[in-house]
Amino acid sequence: MSQLIKSFGRIYPAAPLLLGIVACLGALSCAATVSPDDPLAQPQGGPPVSLVVANSDLAVGENRVSFGLVDRDYMPVRPETVEVRAVYYEPDAPTGQVRHSTAAEFLGWPPDGRRGVFIAQVKFDQAGTATGESPGIWELHATFDHLEEKALTIGTAVSVAPVHSVPFIGDPAPPSETPTADTVKDLRTISSSPEPDPALYQMSISEAVASGKPTVISFATPAFCVSATCGPQISDISELAREYQGRVNFVHVEVYLDPHLIEPANPARQLAPAVGEWGLVSEPWTFVVGSDGTIDARFEQYVPPSVLEPALLSALHP
């Protein structure tokens, strides 16, 4: 029988930035307005820690959920262990059902691992978008020890779609026509990397996914990345490209057109067509495509070589 749990009824805006994660992903932190004896009750003014989800594409099934914890001063909170529960609420229901529980692990970002996010594999068994045909809603609850308080529980509402808007595992990779080293005179016109690696611009996406070899595709903008992880992501992929040269294709897609013409202070930037063709609204994204042209693995936000390489090897030796 599913456990019943009260909703975090009162909603608070998320921090503008979470360790550099784009705030426009729409995550919300929330606190309950319930009795003082309720374990979810929070101090006046809201919870001492907020949970901010970094995913832009959650759907029915298993999802790699990345989230951060920040205090009221927007400083990162990093407990040793975090337990995560996915709780589904029927429309207007005061209590919800815990549909899935799991533990989250901290994933440190380059260069020193002090910044980062928590990663949890979370299963959603039905859609919940609070709209139209999916009027219910999901919350993610995180429980951890914080300062002198024991078992602090906080939560955030998340929208879970019936299907993914970004290519998912088993889907055919969109055959986007992306620029290559052969189509430009200067790689800096198609990459914001300080020193673009030619190995990442030898093939377009369409050529790579039709080649009969596995392909790693990374959508990233090293010079303009909000999280500052795009540069390290592309550097990691360059290292893998050297190691797997001739066996695996590697493609970097710059998120913006004409990156060499962009003024950092000017927010007016034009997205590369492939970004829309893949349904992306955040960066970086990295995909592993099998030799048959279908998605083998996908990662929103930074993915370290220790996670990416096993996915690559799985595609190389299915």
Structural domains for the chain = 3-158 (no CATH), 187-316 (3.40.30.10)
pLDDT digits (tens, 9 = 90+) for 9-31: 433 233 333 334 433 322 223 33
pLDDT digits (tens, 9 = 90+) for 44-77: 567 899 999 999 999 999 999 999 999 999 999 9
What does residue 313 show for φ and ψ, rounded to 5 degrees?
-65, -35
Per-residue pLDDT tens over the stretch 206-245: 999 999 999 999 999 999 998 899 999 999 999 999 999 9
Task: Give the CA count within 13 Å in the CB-facing half-sphere of 204.
Answer: 13
Query: pTM here?
Result: 0.87
